Amino acid sequence: MTLDYLEQILDLFLEQKRLSVQQTLSILKQGTGVFQQLKNVIDVDSGPNQQIIIVGDTHGQFYDVVNLIDMYGPPSENQIYLFNGDVVDRGSHGVENMLFLIGLKLVFPNYIHILRGNHESERCTQVYGFRFEVFDKYKDSVDSEEEVYHENEQIKENKSNIKIPFEKESDIKIDKECNDESQDKNVIDLMEIKTQDDDNVLLSQSNKDQNKVNAKQPYSEMKTGQLVYSAFLQLFNSLPIGAIVNKEIFVTHGGLFDRYGVTIDDIQKINRFCDPGQEGGENLMGQMMWADPSEFTSFHPSIRSYGCLFGEDVTDDFLINNNLKLVVRSHEQKKNGFQIHHSGKLITIFSAPSYCLDTNLGAVLLVTKDESQDETESQDEKEKQMNGET
């Protein structure tokens, strides 16, 4: 993925057009290859002059994500983005939202990170809209010769003036609004960019859905909508499920667990390459994706599919056992986009404004590194060297 290709993709999405099936599959394949190499819990660290921007649920609100990045600037040495799941479902542009974030990850691999939410799953996407969206946007006929534009000039003529300022000199503002009713159904094939795809990519297969295609079935024999949806599911299964920011903050989509004593090492051992709740054992991944904080102590049953309601004592136990200071989660809509819980040791961040036509605000969490922390770590290193430690 090149920056030029990503800028063209953004232009097309802002014009409410979409990529061809083959290009969509190429991006999903590249993204899956990157994510599946990562640990369950990744480390996200910033330097003294960097800030980390933690983004909560965005739920298919692609235009709000574009505005957000335009506001704070693209991923760079100055700002690192951490998206905390629920990129799809509910909103009308989950496809564009996820493909755009994957494109950013491929172009700026060290400056943007994407975690899994409970909606990045087969269970949720079959109910809350994303599966229908994929099948609607990738009908079986969309890659026919008659419906795909091949002319390079077509791309140039349709190119939008609205861009994310990837270069610092740019000062272009986002002023385009989403209009679902006027969505253009045209498909643009960016022939200027060469993509490569194997004809027999192995796609994930669910043993619960009899309509799932065989994982080894060639592209040409699969229904287009099912093909793209299966590729999205494979990518979802590869996403990390947590992050530790600056060695102090634990970030995960839903929350904590229905027992005390869970460690980061326990989480690292989870087999995350499945739907949350199907990983076996204690279903720790399912709990991380679905749990909610409670004002009561201990843990209690939840009305959600998995997870529990966990109290301040559970948060305290997790932070102490893992030498951390704060838990950041998303998963719940908040009127002002955020809420502080458990005596300031847990924060909910929700980043989808006007969610499902509501009047809520969206928020992000800006994390900067305390320079005194660097000085302390440097002093510790000097003492270790003086004592002959490595």
pLDDT digits (tens, 9 = 90+) for 143-155: 433 333 232 323 3
Query: Secondary structure of the chain: what % helix, strand, coil (to 5)?
Result: 35, 15, 50
- pTM assigned to the model: 0.79
Report the C-alpha gap between 86 and 84 in whole angstroms. 7
The answer as to whether 65 is a domain residue is yes
Least confident range from 48-52, 65-69, 100-104, 284-288: namely 48-52
In percent, the amount of the chain with pLDDT more than 90 equals 71
The answer as to whether 190 is a domain residue is no
Report the C-alpha gap between 349 and 356 in whole angstroms. 17
Q: What is the pLDDT of residue 166?
A: 44
What's 194-222 look like in SS3?
CCCCCCCCCCCCCCCCCCCCCCCCCHHHC
Mean pLDDT of 292-313: 94
Mean pLDDT of 199-226: 46
Scanning 112-249, the segments in alpha helix (DSSP H) are: 122-125, 130-137, 152-158, 224-238
Report the C-alpha gap between 210 and 187 in whole angstroms. 30
The answer as to whether 49 is a domain residue is yes
Helix/strand/coil for 341: strand
Residues near 336 by beta carbon (within 8 Å), at least 6 away in sequence: 360, 361, 363
Model confidence at 50: pLDDT above 60: yes
Model confidence at 181: pLDDT above 60: no
Residue with more model confidence, 299 or 197 = 299
Helix/strand/coil for 134: helix
CA dihedral angle for residue 370, residue 372, residue 375, residue 379, rounded to 10 degrees: -120
Residue with more model confidence, 212 or 36 = 36
> Please, which pLDDT band fits residue 324 given cuts at 50, 70 and 90?
very high
The answer as to whether 374 is a domain residue is yes
Domain that holds residue 132: 3-140+220-244+333-381
Give the Cα-Cα-Cα angle 50, 74, 255 (nearest 5 degrees). 70
Which residues lie across from 243 on neighbouring strands? 42, 251
> Please, which pLDDT band fits residue 100 given cuts at 50, 70 and 90?
very high
Which residues lie across from 326 on neighbouring strands? 249
Model confidence at 55: pLDDT above 90: yes
Model confidence at 35: pLDDT above 50: yes
> How many structural domains does the chain have?
1
For 332-379, how does the pLDDT look when each residue is reduced to its tens digit (9 = 90+)?
Answer: 999 999 999 999 999 999 999 999 999 999 999 999 987 655 554 445
Q: What is the pLDDT of residue 201?
A: 28
Q: What is the pLDDT of residue 151?
A: 27
Mean pLDDT of 25-49: 96
Question: Going by DSSP bridges, is the β-strand pair 249-251/242-245 parallel, antiparallel, or unpaired?
Answer: antiparallel
Q: What is the pLDDT of residue 81?
A: 98
Q: What is the pLDDT of residue 381?
A: 52
Mean pLDDT of 248-276: 97
The answer as to whether 162 is a domain residue is no
Q: pLDDT averaged over the chain? A: 81
Residue 100: which of 142, 71, 63 has the closest Cα? 63
The answer as to whether 268 is a domain residue is no
Contact 134, 150 (CB under 8 A): no
Question: What CATH number does the domain containing 228 carry?
Answer: 3.60.21.10
The answer as to whether 350 is a domain residue is yes
Model confidence at 118: pLDDT above 80: yes
Report the C-alpha gap between 297 and 281 in whole angstroms. 25
Model confidence at 388: pLDDT above 70: no
The answer as to whether 274 is a domain residue is no
Active site residue ranges: 119
